[in-house]
Amino acid sequence: MDRAKIYKNVKDINEEEFVLPGTPLCAGCGGLLALRLAYKVLGQKVVILNAAGCFTLLSTYPYTPFRSSWLYTAMACGPAGAQGIRDALDILIEKGSIPKEENLKVVVLTGDGSAYDIGLQSTSGAIHRNLDFYYICYDNEAFGNTGFQMASSSPYGSRTGTTQPSDAYPMATEQQKKDLFEIWRAHKPPYMATVSPAHPVDLSAKFKKASEYKGPKLFITLAPCPTGWGYGASRSNRIAKLAVECGIWPLKEAIEGKLKHTYIPKFKPVEEYLSLQGRYDHLFKPVRNDFTIKKIQKGIDRYWAPFLKLTSCKR
Amino acid sequence: MVREMLTGNASAAWGARLADVDYVPSFPITPQTEIIENISSWIRDREMNAKFVTMDSEHSMITAAGTAAATGARVFTATSSQGLLYGMEMLYTISGWRVPLVLVNVARAISSPITLEPDHNDILAARDSGWIQIHVENCQEALDAVLMGYKISEDERVFLPVIVNLDGFYLSFTREPVEIPDQKDVKKFLPPFNRENGYFRASKPVSRGAALLGGTGYSFFKYQMHLSACNAISVYKGVAKEFKAIFGREYDTVERYEMDDAEYVIVMSNSFATKGKAAVHIMREKGHKVGLLKLRLIRPFPADDIINELLNRKGVAIIDQNIAPGSGGILYNEVCGCLYHSKERPNILLSVIGGLGGKDISQAEFEHIIDTIKKYHNKKKVPIKPILLFTEEDMKVTNNIIDIAGI
Amino acid sequence: MIRVRFHGRGGQGIKTASRILGTAAFLEGYYVQDAPLYGAERRGAPITAFDRISKEPVLERGIITNPDIIAIGDETLLNDAAANVFQGIRKGGIFFVNTHYEASHILERYCLPECKVIVHDVTDITINTVGKASVSATLAACICRITGTAGKEALINAIKKELKSIELKDETIDKNIEAAILCYDKMSEVPIETYRFNPVSGPKIIAVKHYLPPKGVAVIYAKGNTKKRKTGNWRLFKPCINYERCVRCGICFVSCPDGCISLDTDNYPVIEYANCKGCLICYEECSAKAIETKREVRTW
């Protein structure tokens, strides 16, 4: 378990490691960093239910990076798998078949392709059943494990393997990113939050706070992806921070459905974030696509407008 | 021990109750629903100490069943038809996890067109999934097969999940007198599940289902599944022996009816075997040396037992209550395959398709099958195409509905 | 038939190298097969690709276990047992390594059978000419020349075709061609004794027995054993901490995706190089500029 009672700065973060090095994941994987940080709060008594995605390869027989348990399941059913384990542990402990010291936290680990699309039904089911579990979606905004094709998590204006820019589609991906957070929030789970691997204190505090609630504890973490997003691996955290500062990745939480932003960004122009990534190259080269860039910026402004009003009222 | 009028569904539910299962994930589908209604009531009334949960799909239900089994719970679940197909991905996944549990499939023909009554295309679609399959003929057998299923599945020589198949409508909603064994006898037969090693525990972490790349390790573990499934034949026979010793009922991998001096044999499975036995009885009274071989264990396929029963017969008809379009009857091909190397194999192996969508098979049709085998006896050329049991009257009915639908 | 097996790291252009070689030989009129082997590889992880080039139709498929040429795009792979780069190495075969070292050094250090070791610092030429370490065109050029399967014109056309298909800009493609021709001219054709299947030494088929659990079931009982994989071999650049500048802020510790940075008793960060993949997030994030980078060469 983490030692810190509250997370105020980096020094409060647990030094013990639970996800050990040597995984086959890409160098600079933002999702892996988020998982490592989350684990530092969750501790060792954990079983992970991994839905098919990039993280499938974390445990590749005969290797595992974990000091705790792991079960790999198919893409559609991470939360359903969590249900079976949670229920089995509960009933076995209740019947006295196993001692309660053997209890585990059940954690679903899933990519956005599963979370936003094929696994959404089983997630909705698990939230509805008030399953006591953690759900971590590492969101790299496309089907990353298959080589980066469009998912409903892919942002408007981004390039993926199946939404290449063309004369007819200068913006590349024409749909807006699905608002999974609000879909979840409609279920009113006890705790849910967005996090970023480059905001480790915020991330840790949220996992800590979540642990006070029984029921679904849902997280979407931004997962900067050097290969899919097209940038040098060293820039993962810089890009994650820009996503927050531009307001395109709001850091927020909702307790019993009540929404709160945990950080008000500096609202840098989104261009600063977009221009660092190959997946947005077509918006700048060979000619600048002002229409699409402005539309992305407007989307951000429209998202924040009501909250900023609220904040200024309070002031 | 008490005797009661029970439906096939209620019998299967009693099997789960007596097995003292810990966990029942569910999702309703006709004609399985009575099973989960019974079990949920018993749990709510504290007559069963287990956890019941309604999942969001069969895919999720089978997943939860598998993960609970991987956590060391004794798990029961049930589905039917489209549900089994919807969860098919997880059938394969869970058998690969090598965890024991019992799933009852209430057979129902597959869409499209969607229909309500049974055939075996649903359950036989799962034949290569690595699950052990026991197919039952009556309500008593349904209850007993669930109990035997746990004992086979939890045997470490097997460690594969088990499907018990019972026919929708013909068994699911049909009541018969069923002996409900005493709980203490069941405890003797089926002790608590040994969940010592390999389950998710804080003190002993394990990783299961990890990716395995490159074909070598994959081949090894897949072949281990095959060998474990093959072990299930001798394990089954041992379990059947113990079952007989405690409960008095005997269930071999195949059931022999009037087989001793039979020259002509009908091979079939599931509830329609009752109709087959009646037909055999009548034909015997008419002086025909006819017998019936019922297949009970479909996976593993009890080839040796089938070969033993079919050698030196003059002719055999395999009735498939399923159809593999472009190939014919599924079991026909399997029975033919196992007989190939025996010189004393029957002259004629006739493929018959009948009972699709729960369509009845009449006495006249059974007699037609035997007549057909006899017709081809001693002839060099035997048809390998399947015969569909479909009469002139059936054609009239069909023409009529097609007319109404308009062309 | 000439069988070429490329080894490199994901992101290095190994698949494209095999395609450039394949296309060049195809343009010269050969029967050709080329294929990458996809597995668990991620950017930086070992990757393999194959070419079969023949005057007759190619009656083989899949991985090449008996290559005539092994082409190593990244010298660190020689020390990575999992990459299995020496598989099928034999007398008369060619072992090409992209390295600073002399051929004699490699021959001695790895006790290779009497194969022909050819070395060339392809990365150096590529970085100097193209500015990036993707060696697809340059490595392919070396092998084209050594095998004699394609002339310059076919090579240039193949590079254009393949690099265009991965959406490189014309300007970058031209630089790659320039670097490739430099490599091509440095190499010379080497006669190759191609592998002949020897039916006597076939594998022995065994009857696999049944094993009870735990052996017969694919469950991992070990904990955290990925550490044994030594992903430190993936690095192209190495982060080095300058402790005189380090202010012990801990940012590098919380920024390392792989958990390769720990804090010592005085809260100084320590990098575990055995598994550090060289993503360099720590270098980028260090506000005290206390982390420097060094190119990984002569890792052994």
Phi, psi of C236 (to 5 degrees): -100, -35
Mind giving me the DSSP string for B104-165? EEEE-PPSSS--SS--SHHHHHTTTSS-EEEE-SSHHHHHHHHHHHHHHHTSTTT---EEEE
**Is pLDDT of B58 > 70?**
yes
Instruction: List the Cα angle B126/B128/B130 in 5-degree steps.
Output: 95
The reply to whether A89 touches chain B by the CB within 8 Å rule is yes
Count A/B contacts: CB-CB distance under 8 Å. Answer: 167
Residue C43 has a pLDDT of 67
DSSP B44: H
Secondary element (H or E) of residue C265? none
**Is pLDDT of B59 > 50?**
yes
The yes/no answer to whether this complex scores an ipTM above 0.90 is yes
Q: How far is CA C82 from the centre of its chain?
A: 12
β-strand pairing of C2-9 with C46-54? antiparallel
Mean pLDDT, residues C270-297 = 94
Domains of chain B: 2-247 (3.40.50.970), 254-395 (3.40.50.920)
Which residues lie closer than 8 Å to A217 by C-beta, 6 or more apart?
A133, A134, A135, A189, A190, A191, A192, A210, A211
**Is pLDDT of C265 > 80?**
yes
Residue A311 has a pLDDT of 67
User: Residue C81: pLDDT band by 50, 70, 90 thresholds?
Assistant: confident
Mean pLDDT, residues B238-261 = 98
The verdict on a CB contact (< 8 Å) between A27 and C278 is yes
Mean pLDDT, residues B109-137 = 97
Mean pLDDT, residues A137-160 = 96
User: Looking at A306-310, B107-111, C56-60, C289-293, which range is the least confident one?
Assistant: A306-310
Residue owning tokens 């992903």:
C231
Residues in chain A: 315
Q: Which of C211, C212, C219 sits opposite B206 (nearest CB)?
A: C219
β-strand pairing of B162-167 with B132-135? parallel
- The candidate with the shortest Cα–Cα distance to B106, out of B81, B86, B141, B77, is B81
Residue owning tokens 């076919």:
C154
β-strand pairing of C94-98 with C116-120? parallel
Digit-coded pLDDT (tens) for B153-170 = 999 999 999 999 999 999
Digit-coded pLDDT (tens) for A44-62 = 999 999 999 999 999 999 9
- In chain A, residues 113-132 whose CB comes closer than 8 Å to chain B: 121-122, 124-126, 128-129
Digit-coded pLDDT (tens) for C161-185 = 999 999 889 999 999 999 999 999 9
Distance CA C107, CA C95 (A): 10
**Is pLDDT of C104 > 60?**
yes
Residue B256 has a pLDDT of 98
Residues of A in contact with C36 (CB under 8 A): none
Residue B150 has a pLDDT of 98
Residues of B in contact with A95 (CB under 8 A): 22, 49
**Contact between residue C19 and residue C6 where contact means Cβ atoms under 8 Å apart:** no
Distance CA A46, CA B243 (A): 40
**Is pLDDT of A314 > 80?**
no
Residues of B in contact with C218 (CB under 8 A): 96, 98, 208-210, 212, 217, 221
Written as six digits, the tokens of B163 are: 């499907």
**Is pLDDT of A5 > 90?**
no
Residue B407 has a pLDDT of 84
Residue B107 has a pLDDT of 98
Residues of A in contact with C76 (CB under 8 A): none
DSSP C139: H
Q: Calculate the average pLDDT of chain C.
A: 91
Mean pLDDT, residues A127-140 = 98
**Is pLDDT of A1 > 50?**
no
User: Looking at A24-38, B26-40, C197-211, which range is the least confident one?
Assistant: C197-211
Which residues lie closer than 8 Å to B78 by C-beta, 6 or more apart?
B12, B26, B32, B35, B36, B103, B104, B105, B106
The verdict on a CB contact (< 8 Å) between C221 and B206 is yes
DSSP B225: H
Residue owning tokens 């900023």:
A308
User: For A10-311, which CATH superfamily applies?
Assistant: Thiamin diphosphate (ThDP)-binding fold, Pyr/PP domains (3.40.50.970)
Digit-coded pLDDT (tens) for C26-44 = 999 999 999 998 765 566 7
Kindly provide the b/e burial profile for residues C255-285, where b requires at least 16 CB atoms within 10 angstroms of the residue's own CB.
bbbbbbbeeeeeeebebbeebbbbbbbbbbb
DSSP B324: B
Please give, rounded to a whole number of angstroms, the shortest distance from the CA of A281 to a CA of chain C.
Answer: 12
User: Residue C10: pLDDT band by 50, 70, 90 thresholds?
Assistant: confident
User: Residue B340: pLDDT band by 50, 70, 90 thresholds?
Assistant: very high
| Whether the model pTM is above 0.90 | yes
Residue B141 has a pLDDT of 98
The reply to whether B251 touches chain A by the CB within 8 Å rule is no
